[in-house]
Amino acid sequence: MPDNIKQEPFDVYSDGFTVTITPFGANLSFGIREAHPSPGKPPQSQHLGTVRMSTEHLKTMIWITRQQIRSVEGQMGVKAEMPRNILNQLGIPPDDWDDFWKPTAAV
């Protein structure tokens, strides 16, 4: 990034995202839906920002995040469940989801 462009750190809540992966990197765009959409009208979304990185960096983030979530769920005895209808809307087979989040065997 050029020296004359000041980048402010940000801390936001997001309830939506888009991922674009190219041969040269990955783009994660985050958004948030309006709190009270009008009846009969699709909810509107506000773009919050885009984070760009290498595909290798994204894969590393996914791995570390997955390990941390599984660790916290195991230590706390809780599990953040995803409703099956949401998985269906996203085209994620429930068995694949369950396998991805399955706790690792203790060594």
The per-residue pLDDT for 17 is 95
Our separate counts of H helices and E strands in the chain read 3, 3
Pair (68, 96) in one structural domain: yes
Domain count, the chain: 2
46 and 16 in a common domain: yes
Q: Model confidence over 79-99: pLDDT tens digits?
A: 889 999 999 999 999 999 999
Question: How many beta carbons lie within 10 A of that of residue 5, not counting itself?
Answer: 6
Q: Which structural domain, as residue segments, surrounds residue 86?
A: 55-107
| Residue 41 pLDDT exceeds 80 | yes
Are residue 69 and residue 28 in the same domain, yes or no? no
| pLDDT class of 65 with cuts at 50, 70, 90 | very high
Mean pLDDT for the stretch of residues 61-88? 93
pLDDT computed for residue 9 by the predictor: 87
